[in-house]
Amino acid sequence: MTGLIARGMGPAFDGLPAPLRALHGAGGLWRGTVTVETGRAVARRLALAIGLPSEAGTVPFSLEIQPDGTGEVWTRRFGPHVFRSYLGPGPDGTVLERIGALRVRMRPEPVPGGLHLRIVGAGLGAVIAPAWLAGRGGGMETVEGDGVRFDVSGRAPGLGRVIRYHGTLAPA
């Protein structure tokens, strides 16, 4: 089965570096290390409420991508903390990530040497506001050896940074 990001990007996916194609091709388990940076007190509570880690630090990390119907279940383990979300196809090649009632629409875009998952909208339930109103963030992935270096962030209007996590992953 072809991965969700590959389907969203179409032929541009084939131009990504091999480790990124492997990560997003058909799922699987990847392991590495992550550094978590949190925001102010209110933002940390928001992170915890949606299931993200609310404590800063560097810990072992794993990402498991499992195909599920037309989408994928992403299970991230930040040390002992487990965070799951469902990613499904959105309109016009976008990807829609569901985290409880929160919805984040991202556009996978190739960049020199990597992949940018740019947030183009977010909201609650079926209501998706444009990125300029909903918040900022997204993910950047580049290659490091046979693995992947990633940097993911989320900011909420009026709260600033909710979370940033960055690190490296390699196939398990």
Identify the burial level of 86 via C-beta atoms within 10 angstroms of its C-beta, where 0-12 means exposed, 13-18 middle and 19 or more buried. Answer: middle
Instruction: Dump the DSSP string for 86-155.
Output: EEEE-GGG-EEEEETTEEEEEEEEEETTEEEEEEEEEEETTEEEEHHHH-EEEEEEEEETTEEEEEEEEE
Most confident of 36-40, 46-50, 71-75, 152-156: 71-75
Confidence of residue 133 (pLDDT cuts 50, 70, 90): low
pLDDT at 162: 82
Percentage of the chain beyond pLDDT 90 is: 59
Mean pLDDT of 104-133: 84
The domains located in the chain, with CATH, are: 4-171 (2.40.128.20)
Distance CA 109, CA 71 (A): 18
Percentage of the chain beyond pLDDT 70 is: 94
Read off the pLDDT of residues 23-41 as tens digits, 9 standing for 90 and up: 998 779 999 999 998 888 8
Mean pLDDT of 44-59: 80
Confidence of residue 54 (pLDDT cuts 50, 70, 90): confident
Mean pLDDT of 97-109: 90
